[in-house]
Structure 1
């Protein structure tokens, strides 16, 4: 017997393939969805045959249509783009059905943060414009850092991109006043009062990576710093809201959400990630660890 999930359920960490879990969650359940999917850095996926044509159903429409959420010709745009770079095809085939679920699961005032690197961000931006609607694009956040090796044959790559899309551009939740402020880069140009208060962040976030020797380090290879997630959770959710991360990794999203009074669902199929999250989150109150997908009681 599988246990149902509802808005009154405890926060959960789920060990499963996310695509097996997501369809069991009710529509519009989450105010914030943060996704940090595996980057397509190696370009090792086997691309699908160019003789086959994939069609993906979108909200309320039969599979085979070519109209996106906002009446846009999503399949046509996708086909043109994937024809331009066939190597992206298989990666997007992995990510696309999960983003369709993310759109369904976002509350009307909800926000999606999709964290990618420079290899995929430009493709994803074009496809998400068509999938969500270009009017639902809110921000391109650049997370800049300065750590690791430095190339001498090109400008060193020291940033990730976080694409931000909202479900309803006329009614999304965003509260910049709750966000941790940062130091002024030129404090001599502002008043002492402003220096003391700090400035609101822009869409470029200078924040170090998780230090290999710092207290925050869990040992998980793709762990993201709590400071970056804290800013996202503060701005795009309220106390008591639900936060979803279905590429949960080290569990930073859940830890930050809990520290700010939010509830969360974290999903990952990697046993290493689950082990890290169990050690990191087990002491939190009202958190349940689940093996496998769940849904309505049968």
Structure 2
């Protein structure tokens, strides 16, 4: 693992088993998919060609009992044959049958066991979930940690969100707090809040009576109760990075301040847009993040650079760093290759996130807007990514897409070397002249290897 902060692009179960040492982590925070039957992500394929049930890719949080779930179930109860978790899975299967919930619990069980393994003896874990699976997850956590090591069920209350029509409006998430033993860190003075603050009671100079005894309130305030009134992010919040299910930094800061000290190591195995990582960085903790989507990895890198102004103070594993790695990613998962390849062009997912969808995309894999002269005169460049065999037919079809989208420019990003007829066909599309009189080819063919070797740099592709 080393001393550097670390981002891993890949299946967290594989990363945990391969790269994270036993008893090396002070705090695990995980915000896994909730099994909420809402669209967020799809299943990823790992380097071995097996479907990784770690997380679902942008945007489907729906689980199914299939051959992959059956395989993982059998592997888990055999690999951890002497654990309470194996007995839990067998009992749950008898109770639930083979359905979505059972598939979800089968995914979570081996990951929680590995997270327990990597925690230090005085380490703690916070699992973030919603009411759809909370009751089952608590039983699973009891099996992993032992029910005596349960510390809190914390209710995170918020006012934002949906409205109830035939039931009460759902306005909370649940965080389960477990410790590996009784010696865990709890920095009460770091998280105190005013007595007359949110969720508190009014302070007075005479003290308060508890169990018949009078005491003076702590001048620093009180320790928060097990329900936290921390606002969720609004659509216009400055924190927002355009990522679904993003949590507020204030929520993670309270967890980190309470249960760790400076230089402790925080692990988030479903790190998404990196809120736990940002909070850890702000509070001078070390961190490890794992995510199975390149959208997440790219978003975190941008977020770290924007807030802290660095790109090299951490290590990234799992991203292609050469053409062989790019070919491997394309072979294993074309959609993730597409997302990664577009990121090489510096596409900003905060504005273009919704254009990156698996499925019928009409030949548009990314969009880049540029200003041509005076303010407000925005022009459009579209990006198409190809990881397989390419021919002159692809260029002709791309030319039609550019016209259909009313774009001034198009970038054809290819993993394979373009043919001479392709280059000639692209040249016949002509040039766009910007306000400075500089000409840009209407169809620019760019090879992935030239971006990886910095032979071509993104700022030379797009008009400024």
Say whether the fold is shared (TM-score over 0.5).
yes
Higher mean displacement: 77-86 or 250-259 = 77-86
SS in 1 for 2:300: helix
Q: Within 2, Cα distance between the matches of 1:46 and 1:217?
A: 31
CA contact (8 A) 1:12 1:287 kept: no
CA contact (8 A) 2:127 2:176 kept: yes
Superposition CA RMSD, Å: 2.6
Query: Is 1:12 aligned to 2:6, yes or no?
Result: yes
Higher mean displacement: 104-113 or 79-88 = 79-88
Alignment of 1:66-77 (within 5 A): 67-68=82-83, 73-77=84-88
Query: Is 1:220 aligned to 2:258, yes or no?
Result: no
Higher mean displacement: 241-250 or 144-153 = 144-153
Alignment of 1:179-198 (within 5 A): 179-182=191-194, 183=197, 185=199, 188-191=202-205, 197-198=220-221
SS in 2 for 1:267: strand
Q: Structure 1, unaligned stretches of length 5 or more?
A: 294-298
Query: Is 1:31 aligned to 2:26, yes or no?
Result: yes
Cα distance, 1:228–1:80 mapped onto 2, change above 3 Å: same
Alignment of 1:233-248 (within 5 A): 233-248=256-271
Q: Deviations over 1:41-75 (max 9, x none)?
A: 11842225899973636xxxx7363x42xxxx443
Alignment of 1:172-211 (within 5 A): 172-182=184-194, 183=197, 185=199, 188-191=202-205, 197-211=220-234
Q: TM-score, normalised by structure 2?
A: 0.55
Out of 150, 173, 180, which is 1:167 matched to?
180
**Could you tell me how far 1:83 is from its partner in structure 2?**
2.7
CA contact (8 A) 1:180 1:231 kept: no
SS in 2 for 1:56: helix
Aligned to 1:296: none
Query: Is 1:254 aligned to 2:277, yes or no?
Result: yes
**Could you tell me how far 1:198 is from its partner in structure 2?**
3.7
SS in 1 for 2:284: coil
Q: Structure 2, unaligned stretches of length 5 or more?
A: 38-60, 207-215, 320-464
**Bigger CA radius of gyration:** 2
Q: Which has the higher contact order (CA 8 A, sep 6+)?
A: 1
Aligned to 1:280: 303
Aligned to 1:136: 149
CA contact (8 A) 2:199 2:229 kept: no
Q: TM-score, normalised by structure 1?
A: 0.84
**Could you tell me how far 1:119 is from its partner in structure 2?**
0.7
Q: Deviations over 1:175-195 (max 9, x none)?
A: 212115251546545349969
Out of 12, 22, 41, which is 2:16 matched to?
22
Q: Within 2, Cα distance between the matches of 1:134 and 1:209?
A: 30
SS in 2 for 1:54: helix
Higher mean displacement: 103-112 or 187-196 = 187-196
Aligned to 1:112: 125
Out of 71, 79, 86, which is 1:63 matched to?
79
SS in 1 for 2:244: coil
Q: Within 2, Cα distance between the matches of 1:116 and 1:64?
A: 24
**Could you tell me how far 1:20 is from its partner in structure 2?**
2.2
